Structure 1
Amino acid sequence: MQWYLQANVGEAVVTTLKDWAFWSAILATMFVIFLGWFLTKRGTFKKDWEAVLIKVVMVVGLPALAFNGFMSDTSVGEVKTQLAILLVGFLFYIILGIITKYFYIKYEKDVRDALTMCTVFASTTFFGIPIVTALFGKESSVPANIFNIPYRVFLYSLGFIVMSKPVATLVATEAQTVKSTIVDVGQNSAMAQQTVGEIKAAKKKAVVTNLKQIFLNPILIATLIGFTFWVTQLIPGIKVVPDQTTIGSGKLFSPLRLDNTFPPLFKVTKTLEGICTPLAWLAIGITLAKGNFKEAMADKKVWYGTMMKVIFAPAVGLLLTIVFAAIGKTTGAWHLDTIGLSVIVIMLAAPPASVIVAYSINYKKQPLLTSNLTLTATLFSIIVLPIWVIVTTAIGATSLFTY
């Protein structure tokens, strides 16, 4: 166990606190979010612009960011590391999805389900990735997008099932009532059967829609394409194209390393990537301007849910990552580094996913609670962000996460 404590943790923390790049990223985040809030309150921005900005970020900016993150060198060890992060992600959502509901056991089922899903699913894509990219640069892109694969699978499956179930049960009960009533008055039960059939068809359509959201999501598609391009660099003999960015360097690359083999196309995706972070932060500011802090903070459930979201959930992710790092270190199967640790924890400290709030509104399951929780959690996420960066820096400085 001695190797856990070999590194100079204090020195790493002091270095981080004295790093202008760290504080520049934090201040830039806060300033642009505040700018979005201020311009919305002033009336320069319209409150409904949030939806447009989010759409641009999700459909254009983040897919480009996800793809570009994989335009880098790799190795067998690096692939093993990212697969370990993928496994951490799947286990995190399974474990947290099981245990979190017991922290809300005193509440009625609708409230418990809403709070659980808000705690489990953070806005890792829209809120988390722009921030970790600003903090850690290109190195954070691969682990962030790998970790988001299980996030999207569970968000559109577990999240949908839990948030829509009570309404589906209610509708089915009403349909049965209609059927019984028709039979009681001696009418033909065909009408009731038709009603039940329509309900089943609606439920089936909802499932298909969510499957499309998982597998046809532009961010996930860009991630899978980028990951494929990235991994194929390990194929023997595939590096045959001379470096087009530095003529005469003598370096050879895979044809799929577009940043080196076809710079014009890479420039396009790089330009689109650049719109992601500022638009995301402005949209967050608009979101904050739309909410009522006084009303939100008067609800004890909102306070409790906020602390669970920005402290408990990332703490579970931190513990799970430490366990996996220890297993990898002991067995030599993989190596998790400080960047991977920080990316996982910071993304999990983000406010609740907007998809969960959308489910809450669509299925009439505590929409006011989830909206207020998102509002307060967004504010507190910004406040605790530097703390989590310092914590992960300190733990990441131990030899558990260093070579």
Structure 2
Amino acid sequence: MNIGSAIAKTFTDQTVLSAITSTIFIILLGYWFRKRGIFGEHFGKVLTKVVLSAALPALVLNSFMQPIDSKSMQQGANVLVWGILVYVLLIIITPFMFPRGDKDKNTSLSVATAFGSTTFFGIPIVGAIYGPKGVIYSSIFNVGYRIFLYSYGYIKMSGLKMSKDNVKKMFLNPIVIVTFLGLILWMIQGSMPQVTVPAMNKGVATGTMTTVAFYRIDQTAIWLWKPLNFLQSLASPLAWLAIGCTLGSSSFKEVAEDKLTWLYAFNKVIIVPLINLLILLLLNMTGIVNFDFVAVATVVIMMATPTAAVVASYAIGFDHDALLISKASFLSTVCAVVASPIWIAILNVLNHTGVLH
């Protein structure tokens, strides 16, 4: 597959295309509602409260309701470890990617650079291009993402200090509690009491039977999984509406003229995935750790995603450079639309030339 055909495949895949257009269209809708006065000045904060209090906890818990694929466990373990280490690395280096003069802006942009929209923007693209194997790797990779996004990201964007009371408050946050609970349940499911039930795919019976841990509510308690699924589906669209609402206090001209926002978009969709690609290639060449092609491609594409809706929700909800992050979210989405098919093409070329296999 050459670069041209790889790009064409990306833009003609309906799943990929819908992921891109949904983000842009709903942000623009929020922007238009704010300009028309349908959304008030503070309505974005109301939306983010719903996201942070209900939609995100449901999203996090449901995301761990999936099996561990034994055939991909070795690669999955590699992806899991790298998915944790890379965020430690990004937490260290991203503050140096932006001007150091304004500490608050530096903090906001560094957090937004580390954490992209992997769940909605990344996973659909990975799944469309690399199939179920890519979805498994992306879900495993997201374990480290969620741990740091809902702990480190929450602390930095909320402005909490690492005092005893604030650390307690952070760990009592519903999102953080559900993240660690979900991670533990996901990891130990094989050793828990098992039940045999009709297999379900997104709440619909498949006509076969499956054996799962008793707490896999996506298979054993659809009556509980379904309302959580409805809640989790609100997370991204409500966050995008809030982004558009916040952007409504400025203009697209302001976004285009903001040099700091352009620097952010470049770092987010070019530099961060490039760092990941180079390190993974080095690990493969030295034999320290071996990642297969799909694993490398999954990581690179997940890291080339625009601003995470959660980070934008933090910025708006905590009044932490909300307008700057909203600008960054919109511009990085547009840039990711262009960059994602290019990254896919580069990865396919590396695969066909034997650099990745």
Give the drift of 1:247.
9.2
Matching residue of 1:192:
none
Contact 1:296 1:302 in 2 (8 A): yes
Q: Give me the whole-angstrom Cα distance separating, in 2, the residues matched to 1:93 and 1:280.
A: 23
Say which SS state the counterpart of residue 291 (structure 1) adopts: coil
Residues 243 and 328 (structure 1), Cα distance of their counterparts in 2 relative to 1, 3 Å cut: farther
Contact 1:53 1:280 in 2 (8 A): yes
Post-superposition CA distance 1:187-231 (Å, at most 9, x none): xxxxxxxxxxxxxxxx7xx62354235422322322333333332
Residues 120 and 35 (structure 1), Cα distance of their counterparts in 2 relative to 1, 3 Å cut: same
Q: Give me the whole-angstrom Cα distance separating, in 2, the residues matched to 1:119 and 1:83.
A: 30
**1:251-270 pair list within 5 angstroms:** 251-270=210-229
Q: 2:141 is aligned with what amino acid?
A: P
Q: Give me the whole-angstrom Cα distance separating, in 1, the residues matched to 2:197 and 2:109.
A: 48
Matching residue of 2:35:
41
Q: Give me the whole-angstrom Cα distance separating, in 2, the residues matched to 1:375 and 1:389.
A: 20
Contact 1:34 1:285 in 2 (8 A): yes
Matching residue of 2:179:
223
Contact 2:198 2:208 in 1 (8 A): yes
Matching residue of 1:274:
233
Q: 2:344 is aligned with what amino acid?
A: T
Query: Which of 335, 345, 348 matches 1:384?
Result: 335
Give the drift of 1:143.
3.3
Q: 2:119 is aligned with what amino acid?
A: I
**1:51-200 pair list within 5 angstroms:** 51-76=45-70, 78=72, 80-104=74-98, 110-111=101-102, 113-122=103-112, 129-132=119-122, 135=125, 139=135, 140-156=138-154, 159=156
Residues 334 and 394 (structure 1), Cα distance of their counterparts in 2 relative to 1, 3 Å cut: closer
Give the drift of 1:100.
4.4
Q: Give me the whole-angstrom Cα distance separating, in 1, the residues matched to 2:76 and 2:337.
A: 25
Q: 1:217 is aligned with what amino acid?
A: N
Give the drift of 1:374.
2.0
Query: Which of 235, 238, 243 matches 2:198?
Result: 243
* TM-score under structure 1 length normalisation: 0.68
Q: Give me the whole-angstrom Cα distance separating, in 2, the residues matched to 1:401 and 1:228.
A: 36
Say which SS state the counterpart of residue 243 (structure 1) adopts: strand
Q: 2:179 is aligned with what amino acid?
A: T
Higher strand share: 2
Contact 2:75 2:291 in 1 (8 A): no
> Which of 142-151 and 77-86 deviates more?
77-86
Residues 379 and 216 (structure 1), Cα distance of their counterparts in 2 relative to 1, 3 Å cut: same
Say which SS state the counterpart of residue 253 (structure 1) adopts: strand
In percent, how many aligned pairs have the same letter? 28
Matching residue of 2:22:
28
Residues 156 and 40 (structure 1), Cα distance of their counterparts in 2 relative to 1, 3 Å cut: closer
Post-superposition CA distance 1:239-286 (Å, at most 9, x none): 333326559734322212212222211112112222222212211111
Residues 136 and 151 (structure 1), Cα distance of their counterparts in 2 relative to 1, 3 Å cut: same
Q: Give me the whole-angstrom Cα distance separating, in 2, the residues matched to 1:32 and 1:394.
A: 28
Contact 1:306 1:373 in 2 (8 A): no
> Which of 336-345 and 50-59 deviates more?
336-345
Q: Does 1:290 align with 2:288?
A: no
Contact 2:3 2:346 in 1 (8 A): yes
Q: Give me the whole-angstrom Cα distance separating, in 2, the residues matched to 1:213 and 1:332.
A: 38
Post-superposition CA distance 1:332-358 (Å, at most 9, x none): 799726444322331568896564688
Unpaired runs of 5+ in structure 2?
none
Q: Give me the whole-angstrom Cα distance separating, in 2, the residues matched to 1:121 and 1:208.
A: 23
Residues 61 and 299 (structure 1), Cα distance of their counterparts in 2 relative to 1, 3 Å cut: closer
Residues 122 and 84 (structure 1), Cα distance of their counterparts in 2 relative to 1, 3 Å cut: farther
Let me know the Cα RMSD of the aligned residues. Answer: 4.1
Q: Give me the whole-angstrom Cα distance separating, in 2, the residues matched to 1:308 and 1:238.
A: 46
Q: Give me the whole-angstrom Cα distance separating, in 1, the residues matched to 2:20 and 2:183.
A: 29
Contact 1:310 1:384 in 2 (8 A): yes
Contact 2:65 2:216 in 1 (8 A): yes
* TM-score under structure 2 length normalisation: 0.75
Contact 2:116 2:302 in 1 (8 A): no
Residues 386 and 248 (structure 1), Cα distance of their counterparts in 2 relative to 1, 3 Å cut: closer
Contact 1:239 1:252 in 2 (8 A): yes
Say which SS state the counterpart of residue 112 (structure 2) adopts: coil
Q: Does 1:13 align with 2:7?
A: yes
Q: Give me the whole-angstrom Cα distance separating, in 2, the residues matched to 1:231 and 1:401.
A: 32
Higher gyration radius (CA): 1
Aligned length: 342
Matching residue of 1:187:
none
Q: Give me the whole-angstrom Cα distance separating, in 1, the residues matched to 2:238 and 2:327.
A: 21
Contact 2:116 2:304 in 1 (8 A): no
Matching residue of 2:189:
233
Say which SS state the counterpart of residue 208 (structure 2) adopts: coil
> Which of 276-285 and 69-78 deviates more?
69-78
Say which SS state the counterpart of residue 163 (structure 2) adopts: helix
